[in-house]
Structure 1
Amino acid sequence: MKGLAGGFPLRCCIALAALAMNALALNLFVVPSTGSYPSYGGFAAALAAALAYAALLAVAVRRPDALLRPSVPWAGLALFCAGSALVAAGYRGESTAASLAGWLLAMLATAWLAVLAGLVLARLSPRPAFAAVPAAYASVYVAASVLMPFVESLRAARLALLALYVLTFLVAFACTVRPGLSALAAFADQGGSGGATRSAKAAGSSPARAEAGGPPKAVLFAVLLALGLASGYTAFVVYGSRESAGVSFVAMAAAMLAVIAASRFSRGRTDVVFHFGLLLVLAGLLVVPFVAQTSSGERVALIHVSNTLLAAGSECFAMLVWIVLAARVARRPAEALVLQAGGRLAVALGMLGGLVLGTVASSFSAVSPLVPDAVAVAFAFALVAYALVGLRRFSFEDALSGGEGVPQAAAPERDAAAEVSAAAAGVAAAEGAAGAASAATAPMAEASPGDGTRAAVERSCGALARKGGLTGRETEILAMLARGRSAPFIAQELVISPNTVKTHVKHIYAKLGAHSQQEIIDLVDGQCAAE
């Protein structure tokens, strides 16, 4: 597929856009003609999504080989068609059981397709992979600004939305299945069934080293759960019963384009997406309390503004999920299916929880109309607190590049002489053959402070990192500096640019009060002695 070598992945972008439009059509379809959202249809769709990803995760853990069969996507297509037919029949006959069964079948297929699309995205080189996601979402809302008013003006608007839901799935299916199966096979060959571990042992390195990078799965899934919770609650507010004025798809397209523009001028591009989405959601939630204090005309305008801000922020979170999971899979191919299914399950559970929270808050409006507004403000405060406290040492950019929000655990110790030889070889490759001889004959003291083992150095670096408030990536580079690694070697080893290494080193020096690499080595040596 174009993009594996660095070009823009048009086919992948179309698949992502089709899945995003599919989700939009679903949200609009499950809104009932009367009453508040979510109706049983909204809850059924959210619950079915969580169950579908849970089923996929179970299969990925127990029988991953079963998903490699070429017949699986076609079985998914059959399930989707049957599920869509059941949904249509359930809505027509007002049958909750038929609708729930239909959503479960359709969501099984949609979940599988989303996992395949995530694997395809993970195989792309980082720059086109990042570019494809916001480009897809921006194109969706440009198209929605024209398409949705037309669909909603039709007499059978809900039938047209269901047709759009089916059509977008078919487009995503056509664009995703072949490259998705290829990506799945490639990740399986790299270690999906233990291959990565065997390859690492054969190469003489540890599995931890072969799969290093990124925060622990539990941390990552907790962050994704929080993003899903925010998205679920905002979905309730946007499609709720506050005399909904809908959203401005033109404004949402502009927000996606603003994300693209802002990320191009920032080194922490994924953090820009998160912060942009967070600001939009906060702004939308803070508008909510003013709605009840305005006249009818101003009320509709404020609802429209609030809904647009909330929806745009939620879509930023959706983009972030695609990007972070793809980057994580690229660094840990042995866990490709588990990461994709588990991450999506965390988001689905969060969204279901957000819907429940919104419904519970709305149910208290009969007691006092101020309760939903108070919950909106409290939710905004909770988001800020989580961003400032819970995510204080977590960086989405580190999650992409392989860093952590907490100091990394020490890797299993290798033979010290082999470690020095590897360092010498790395320096020689980075700095040329002229430095190879001197690097190969460098004394062990230059590669490691004192006579401590690598594990002791890692522990000391972790202690210093906690004292100085270093990020995960900075902690990783600190350990390499302490072992005498050069900047070119670090850049080559971590697959990042030399300028990025220089920036991290500058931050490390500032936080630890050092002015040279020798001072860093002395600090680590002193910490080793203290321990």
Structure 2
Amino acid sequence: MRMVWKTMRLRHVGMAFFWACSMLTFRSSILLTGEANTPELESIVVIVSFVANMTTLLALAAWAENDPERIDRLPLWPMAAVVVVGLVLVHFAGRVGGGALLPFLLGGAVLTGVGYGAFWGSWADCYGRMHPARTSFYVPVAFLLTAALFLAVSLLAENLSVPAIVLMVPLPVISLVCLVHCRAEVPDGRAVPEGGSKRSLLAVGSLIGLIVASLVLSCLFGFMWELTVFTVGSVNEAHLAPLVANLMVAVALVGLVLYARTRVNLDIAYRIVVPVIVVLFAVLPFFWETNPVALNIIMSASYGVFDVVIWSLVAATSYDFAVSGFVVGGIVRSLSVLLRLIGIGIGFLVTLVPGKPSALIVGVSLGALYVLVMLGLFNWLRHKRKAGAEKLEEGAQTDAFAQLDTSAPDEISETPGEEDAAPAAGAKSTDNTMPAASAKPTASAERADLDDEQALYTTIAEDYGLTRREAEVLPFLARGRSAKVIAEALFVSESTIRTHTRRILEKTDLHSKQQLIDLIENYE
């Protein structure tokens, strides 16, 4: 983690600039003025933008699923261009008013949604090609910068009367520049297209428990957001206090990662925090009439944790399964957006019901809690079955090794040259039983050695920030394999292997393969 901190550059957390711009568009009404500054039109902007966001992500993910290299050929500058045009249209919608208000508003919402969708997928793809040790640190830091930018733009627009459009337009442009530089750092980290669909489904399937939990929270967040907006009467007012909560959460997450000093398994924290949040959400509605913003503060801060966790895991899963982060991120993000829209719809319907909404809020929360309990039970049963299967497999392997050991004496006595090999293994007697006894522990010892060796390579890759492909080449280089042999083993060209080798030497600050071998042998 110290190496990640030292090698981090602003471009590595450039997602924060587009992320802040996206949150300012989706969660704030500072762009809306005049006739457009109403809760109904604010909700329309959010809904239309989310639909366009989700559609763009799914379309591009399907387009790139079997050929991830298409993402590399996708031009980046249109993403920032459509966002800027969309922001301008939304900003001037209230100023033009009249019959042009709705076309300006809808057009701007669609364009911003399309641009943000492309940005989400592109950053997920970029992070998915970096080592998880880096992304588990970059994403929390990006969220911290996002919260700071969000708060700064809101305060400047509210207190100093700086036009929000002037503050927001540079954000996607800066993010674009950072994305271009980050993509240039990992040009050879692209996953092999072979088996793309199956591999992508496996990657998404590995996150199924977390995805369902995040969908529940997304629905609750959208539900709470809509209720707060209509109760307070303004999106911006509803999010003034949650801005500070988001900033505090971001500081805590970055502190956690720095304290851990290694790759943090954030999904464990998320599995704990989601049920706790839902329980609190079921209790707090009883205080709805006294302070409705309190619920939104809790949900906004919780959703900030969700964003950090889910994007860290999307990047790590994409890296581990060697698939495009655009595909995995597109699917996960689209599902969360869909459930958030459903939550917004439920919240809008609740506002139409006369009487106290607290009972309905408790009902929705209890339903969400029920889903999470069923999900937890499902995961527990699945892990129990998996553990049982692993024990059976381990027992079968033990029996196989035992059977091999009992038959070893006769086989060794009949095989030429085996008697000579036995004393070299440590046996002092020529008795046929001795070679079998000396060979017995080799299976478990070999597995332990392989685990230790793999852990060593993983540590080196994390400490020096190697990409997935570079980490795959490292064990071959440690054994002194040639570029030709490595290329045949990994099904890539020799020039690609030479490029990986050169970058490994650059990152480790070494000048030859022998120095690299010495580093690996003496690494602690």
Q: Would you say 1:174 and 2:177 are equivalent positions?
A: yes
Q: Would you say 1:390 and 2:375 are equivalent positions?
A: yes
- What amino acid does structure 1 have at the position aligned with 2:341? L
Matching residue of 2:246? 252
**Contact 2:124/2:314 (CA < 8 Å) preserved in 1?**
yes
Q: Would you say 1:313 and 2:305 are equivalent positions?
A: no
Describe how 1:10-409 pairs up with structure 2 within 5 A: 10-26=9-25, 27-29=27-29, 33-36=37-40, 38-61=42-65, 64-69=68-73, 72-94=75-97, 95-155=101-161, 160-180=163-183, 183=186, 185-188=187-190, 190-191=191-192, 193-194=193-194, 215-216=205-206, 221-242=211-232, 246-248=239-241, 249-262=243-256, 264=259, 268-276=265-273, 279-280=276-277, 282-283=279-280, 286-292=283-289, 299=290, 302-364=291-353, 367-368=354-355, 370=356, 372-392=357-377, 394=379, 407=386
Deviation by residue 1:110-165 (Cα, 9 ceiling, x = unmatched): 2222222222322333333212222222333345445422312355x7xx334433
Secondary structure at 1:239's aligned position in 2? helix
Matching residue of 1:427? none
How far apart are residue 7 of structure 1 and its match?
4.3
Question: How has the CA–CA distance of structure 1 residues 37 and 225 changed in structure 2, closer, same or farther, with 3 Å as cutoff?
Answer: farther
Give me the whole-angstrom Cα distance separating, in 1, the residues matched to 2:140 and 2:296: 20
Deviation by residue 1:210-258 (Cα, 9 ceiling, x = unmatched): 9977744665654443343233223324434345554323333222223
Give me the whole-angstrom Cα distance separating, in 1, the residues matched to 2:81 and 2:350: 39
- What amino acid does structure 1 have at the position aligned with 2:373? L
TM-score by length of 1: 0.63
Structure 1 stretches of 5 or more lacking a match?
Answer: 198-206, 293-298, 396-402, 421-435, 449-482, 498-531
**Contact 2:153/2:167 (CA < 8 Å) preserved in 1?**
no
**Contact 2:23/2:150 (CA < 8 Å) preserved in 1?**
no
How far apart are residue 382 of structure 1 and its match?
3.2
Identity %: 15
Give me the whole-angstrom Cα distance separating, in 2, the residues matched to 1:177 and 1:445: 56
How far apart are residue 326 of structure 1 and its match?
0.5
Query: How many corresponding residue pairs?
Result: 405
Give me the whole-angstrom Cα distance separating, in 1, the residues matched to 2:438 and 2:205: 34
Question: How has the CA–CA distance of structure 1 residues 85 and 254 changed in structure 2, closer, same or farther, with 3 Å as cutoff?
Answer: closer
Give me the whole-angstrom Cα distance separating, in 1, the residues matched to 2:210 and 2:280: 26
Give me the whole-angstrom Cα distance separating, in 2, the residues matched to 1:110 and 1:405: 40
Question: How has the CA–CA distance of structure 1 residues 106 and 245 changed in structure 2, closer, same or farther, with 3 Å as cutoff?
Answer: closer
Deviation by residue 1:440-496 (Cα, 9 ceiling, x = unmatched): 999999899xxxxxxxxxxxxxxxxxxxxxxxxxxxxxxxxxx89745544655887
**Contact 1:252/1:311 (CA < 8 Å) preserved in 2?**
yes
- What amino acid does structure 1 have at the position aligned with 2:226? F
Give me the whole-angstrom Cα distance separating, in 1, the residues matched to 2:103 and 2:66: 30
Deviation by residue 1:314-366 (Cα, 9 ceiling, x = unmatched): 111111121111011011223433212222211221222221121122222xx
Aligned-residue Cα RMSD (Å) equals: 4.4
TM-score by length of 2: 0.64
**Contact 1:286/1:380 (CA < 8 Å) preserved in 2?**
no
- What amino acid does structure 2 have at the position aligned with 1:169? P
Give me the whole-angstrom Cα distance separating, in 1, the residues matched to 2:176 and 2:151: 24
Q: Which entry has the higher C-alpha Rg, 1 or 2?
A: 2
Question: How has the CA–CA distance of structure 1 residues 410 and 122 changed in structure 2, closer, same or farther, with 3 Å as cutoff?
Answer: farther
**Contact 1:289/1:373 (CA < 8 Å) preserved in 2?**
yes
Give me the whole-angstrom Cα distance separating, in 2, the residues matched to 1:36 and 1:7: 47
Give me the whole-angstrom Cα distance separating, in 1, the residues matched to 2:216 and 2:385: 18
- What amino acid does structure 1 have at the position aligned with 2:20? M
Give me the whole-angstrom Cα distance separating, in 2, the residues matched to 1:4 and 1:105: 39
How far apart are residue 74 of structure 1 and its match?
2.0
**Contact 1:285/1:306 (CA < 8 Å) preserved in 2?**
no
- What amino acid does structure 2 have at the position aligned with 1:236? E
Question: How has the CA–CA distance of structure 1 residues 218 and 314 changed in structure 2, closer, same or farther, with 3 Å as cutoff?
Answer: closer
Give me the whole-angstrom Cα distance separating, in 1, the residues matched to 2:437 and 2:330: 47
